[in-house]
Amino acid sequence: MRGVVAEAEGYVGSGPVSIRFHYDQGDEFFALWLGSTMTYSGAMWAGPDDDLRTAQLRKLDYLANQARAGGARRVLDIGCGWGSMLRRLAEAHGVQQALGITLSEAQVAYVEADREGDPRIEARLQDWRTFEPEAPFDAIVSLGTIEHFAGIGAPEAERAAVYRELFERCRAWLPRGGRLVIQTMAQGHAPLDRRAWRDLRLVLTKIYPNAGPPWLRELVAGCAGLFEIVLLRNDRLDYVPTLMAWRRNLRANRERAVELVGEEMVDVHERFFTGLARHFMLGQAEMLRLTFSAL
């Protein structure tokens, strides 16, 4: 593993440079394959007749309901992306203030333009490690974000400290009984074969420098004494049709994608979608949906 992670220098956390390396390639490129919701995390599929939009909205509603966000005054989205959860919280769940934080300037600009002056929705360029909210939140959500917080090759103690700080900060921002809901890729328990190691090298050098999905045990340890785990789901197979839908969309829009980011980057993304889908199918990666209640 050390030889693989050495290609992506630095260990703990992706940081602004790594986040912008990936997410600031341009909104139009991502829109070509993410679809109309602009949601960059695994969807929730009900069957083969589902389409990507329906499956993504089902996921957003599931997580919002787990957060008990209906009619909430303030909800925080850590790593808000292009604002799909923020929009859903405000428009479908009646949240009065849906605040998102991200390290991507492009995403902040997108959310601010897309919200069309809706005062309920806001995105800020802010690191969760230095974020100091003006008031507590009723609930916190985070979708497809915490896999960027601790590098895969980081010493165990450093990774543990990152997750502990995350839970400590979230607990300080919530009342007793407040919900924290996380969806994240996680490291699976099936062994990695040679092809999987090649896929990992591609991810760490071309897609997400320094990223490292957590182990479930790291999250359990990190929340101890701060949160109770109310519900845990491993929906790894939901990521497979999500990735295949993204790949189909990218292929259908390949000519424009090449114009935007170049042929090499388009090829890298196709390989990324295919390889990651294989990881989920084989159990080499998991997709966890966790509901926490503040103690």
pTM of the entire structure? 0.91
- Per residue in 52-77, pLDDT (tens digit) is 999 999 999 999 999 999 999 999 99
Mean pLDDT for all residues in the chain = 89
Determine phi and psi for 11, rounding to 5 degrees.
-115, -65
pLDDT surpassing 90 at residue 20: no
- The upper half-sphere exposure of residue 64, i.e. CA atoms within 13 Å in the direction of its Cβ, equals 25
Residue pair 194/250 in contact by the 8 Å Cβ criterion: no
Strands 121-125 and 139-143: unpaired
Q: How many helices and strands in the chain, by DSSP H and E?
A: 12, 7
Q: At residue 40, what is the residue type?
A: Y
How would residue 13 be classed by pLDDT, with cut points 50, 70 and 90?
Answer: very low
Residue 4 has pLDDT above 80, yes or no: no
Per-residue confidence band for 24, with pLDDT thresholds at 50, 70 and 90: low
pLDDT greater than 90 at residue 3: no
Q: Which of 68-82, 173-187, 194-208, 221-235 has the lowest mean pLDDT?
A: 194-208
Distance between CA 214 and CA 288 in Å, rounded? 10
Helix (H) or strand (E) holding 293: strand 285-294
Domains of the chain by range and CATH?
A: 2-294 (3.40.50.150)
E strand or H helix that includes residue 232: strand 227-234
* Residue written as token pair 């114009």: 259
